[in-house]
Amino acid sequence: MGTFAAQTRNSITFGVKVQTRTAPRTLKIRSVFTRHSRAVTDRECSAAASDIALTLRQQLPVQWLLEGGDSFDFDLAAIIDGLDAIKPFGYPEDPPGLALDDLNEQLAKLLDWADDAEIKLIP
């Protein structure tokens, strides 16, 4: 919550409290990680990535994802785009596990981003 002071023609100062939305300090996503902790196949990794991306979109301020806005977060958008790119098709059969590698890479980026943003990941 912020307070703004204003001055009128009669030099009377008054304060107005304004509700401002601050950045979240927690993100309820650990249960999503747990639910998909055994993902190995391309299909399972795709489902996990979609679920994580959806959770991020639902819980984080929308202005962080509005490209061109003052609060746009390039790193967060890149992470979500990376998660969205993990599909159950498009990976070669050999070598196996490429979808899992991509998922793990995006999760590592997400954890680093959350640390940098001082956002605690909770169940």
Checking phi first, is residue 24 left (phi over 0); if not, alpha (psi -120 to 50) or beta?
Answer: beta
Please state the domain extents for the chain: 24-122
Q: How far apart are CA 37 and CA 42, in angstroms?
A: 14
Q: Look at residue 14 and tell me whether its pLDDT is greater than 70.
A: no
Q: Look at residue 3 and tell me whether its pLDDT is greater than 50.
A: no
Whether the full predicted model's pTM is greater than 0.85, yes or no, is no
Q: How far apart are CA 19 and CA 80, in angstroms?
A: 29
Q: Look at residue 114 and tell me whether its pLDDT is greater than 60.
A: yes
